[in-house]
Structure 1
Amino acid sequence: MKTDVWFLVLPGTLALDMIGPAETLGLASDAFTLHYIGPEPEVSTSIGLTMGGIGPLPEHLPKKSLLVLSGVSDSTRYFDTPQAVEARRWLGRQLAAIQRGDIQLVCVCSGSLLAARSGLLHGVECTTHHDVITRLKAAEPNAIVREGRIFVEDRGIWTSAGITSGIDLSLHLINQLHGPQLALDVAREMVVWFRRSGEDPQLSPWLRYRNHMHPAVHKAQDLLSGSPESEWRLPEIAARVFVSPRHLSRLFQQHLGISVRDYLEQLRLAQAEQRLLQGQGVEQASHAAGFSSPRQLYRARQRAS
């Protein structure tokens, strides 16, 4: 039986927040039927593209539906338009169905803020994009806001960090509703080889240590992140970026606050965890990520905790 998915579309919708999940679920076409609804039949999105064919807001949604609230390019503006006010009132009327579990709510990025302002997140564990966390707490002081999470679920209400995390959440929902094989097939079709889980940090090791301007360190990071499973030695890395091993070690401590070895271990740990999520065994995942054994992976986990 197909699952009906209803995307609430408002002016200023952040295109990838909506299109990412829509394409992901749409690739599982035998499992989902997609609908687009909103106060207006045509809206302009964050990239200037006009979206049309938007259906009116139905009074009730069918049971077992997914209702998706995408983020907008400027939530301080677009969640206060007349269309957003109408949408908030409509969402308030869906609260009882959400609380009964008749429909599941899915919020991408600042869509959580719209849900909060509609009265849907009272007492609910949730998250959002890290730039919107403070405003989410202010919009619903009784929400249990989790920071630094990719997505969170609480009693059929799903909230996610934003943009590409909507794809992660969509793959997770496919897995939950229609099984891991379909989720894996869709991920492969999209060339999304590593699915993030809800427990993963919003800023992965691939992004967390990139807020600096030193070209040699960036080059070294590019080498390591491109092939973390390789048997890297400090002299080899240093030679590839044209500095001495001692100087490269100093640069990593100065600009990243960690050693080259620790940075590489974090990359390997992230890769191993993703392979485990894909269903690989611990020994296979350990070796594929560059660890010599599952025991070495376990020790890396302990150091990271």
Structure 2
Amino acid sequence: MTRVVFLLVQRLHLLDLAGPAQVFSTAADLGLDYRAEYVADREDVTTAQGLPLRAQTAWPDLDPGDLVLVPGWRSPKTAGGPRLIGDQAARLVAHHEQGGTVGSVCSGAFALGQAGLLDGRRCTTHHELQDELAQRHPRAAVLRDRLYVVDDRVVTSAGIASGIDLALHLVAVRHGPAVAARIARSMVVYARRSGDAAQDSAMLRHRSHLSDAVHRVQDLIDARFAEPLRLADLAAAAGVSERTLTRRFADATGLTPLRYQSALRLERAEHLIAQGTPVESAARAVGFVDARMLRRLRAGRAWHSGSAPGTPQSRGAAAPSFE
């Protein structure tokens, strides 16, 4: 079981908490063993939106595989003074030193800074608070225009809704982008990734649409991309004609089903090659008859790396982890 412990401070933003909590709750609904717990300095927590919350004051026993996440809070103009009290900062540090992951949403980064966890690390926060974070914590490398940043098991995200992106990223790292895509689809959110990395998985990058028929076909291709797949079988799975599927798939993703399958094969082959697998072996492992097609696709990806933002080749960003 993986615990996700939310450390709640007074006047926290509801969406900073609810967004990531929903991601991990949906992951649990899909059969993944996540359990959310909520701790605070006292049982009654006041939120910025006026909805009172109840939390536990006793910390659970944490394992290295667990996550502690600090949602952000509202302040009149800036992030305000230190928010962690008692042994809360020491708890964050101890969990990280034991191999655990510690994260924040929005102004929650100031809590990590208070604990000393940002020193010498890259991080981010809400765009209106970046200057203050850099001023308060000069040993931190505050990155701008990032949805989230991962550095040595310290994960920080930008404002409000970016906590959803961070949580999806963490799920993708642990369980694969297909699982994260299912969660994003269930939550009806755009499956964005951080601009801090080059590319995210095609399983996520081409899921930002609402076509159920196309999602069903993508689910099938995701699970069997290394196998020969006939367009007629994919159309039957979607309950539409081959022509209709091709049109809807292109409208939703910018690709044909075959090109989508090829993108998945290429990503998997690139991963194998990076791990030391010879090109010929990687090509066969992902379903190519030989390495010629793989080499052509790799050459095409290199050429498209200069594509304008927003094109199917350049959309998205890569998926890091609880690292």
Under a length normalisation based on structure 1, what TM-score does the superposition of the two structures give? 0.62
Residues in 2 aligned to 1:48 and 1:280: alpha-carbon distance in whole angstroms = 50
Residues in 1 aligned to 2:309 and 2:129: alpha-carbon distance in whole angstroms = 31
SS across alignment from 2:307:
helix
| CA shift for structure 1 position 100 | 3.9
| CA shift for structure 1 position 144 | 1.4
SS across alignment from 1:173:
helix
The one-letter code sitting in structure 2 at the alignment partner of 1:190 is: M
Residues in 1 aligned to 2:84 and 2:67: alpha-carbon distance in whole angstroms = 21
SS across alignment from 1:61:
coil
Aligned to 2:39: 37
The one-letter code sitting in structure 2 at the alignment partner of 1:45 is: T
2:49 maps to 1:67: no
2:158 maps to 1:176: no
| CA shift for structure 1 position 76 | 6.3
User: Given that residues 14 and 71 in structure 1 are in contact (C-alpha distance below 8 angstroms), is that contact kept between their aligned partners in structure 2?
Assistant: yes
Under a length normalisation based on structure 2, what TM-score does the superposition of the two structures give? 0.59
Residues in 2 aligned to 1:168 and 1:140: alpha-carbon distance in whole angstroms = 25
Residues in 1 aligned to 2:177 and 2:310: alpha-carbon distance in whole angstroms = 30
After the TM superposition, which residues 110-189 of structure 1 pair with which residues of structure 2 at under 5 Å, given as runs?
Answer: 110-189=107-186
The one-letter code sitting in structure 1 at the alignment partner of 2:49 is: I
Residues in 1 aligned to 2:168 and 2:301: alpha-carbon distance in whole angstroms = 27
The one-letter code sitting in structure 2 at the alignment partner of 1:24 is: V
Unpaired runs of at least 5, structure 2: 198-208, 210-252, 255-259, 265-299, 315-323
SS across alignment from 1:153:
strand
| CA shift for structure 1 position 78 | 7.5
Aligned to 1:281: 263
Show CA shifts across 1:69-115 (max 9, x none): 1100117688547xx3416x4223431431342x1011111111111
Identity %: 32
Moved over 4 A (4+): 75-79, 293-299, 302-305
Matched residue count: 218
Aligned to 2:93: 95
Cα gap change, 1:10/1:159 in structure 2, threshold over 3 Å: closer, same or farther?
same
Unpaired runs of at least 5, structure 1: 201-225, 227-270, 273-277, 283-292
Cα gap change, 1:79/1:302 in structure 2, threshold over 3 Å: closer, same or farther?
closer
User: Given that residues 69 and 111 in structure 1 are in contact (C-alpha distance below 8 angstroms), is that contact kept between their aligned partners in structure 2?
Assistant: yes
| CA shift for structure 1 position 25 | 1.1
Superposed CA RMSD in Å reads: 3.4
Larger relative contact order (Cα-Cα within 8 Å, sequence gap ≥ 6): 2
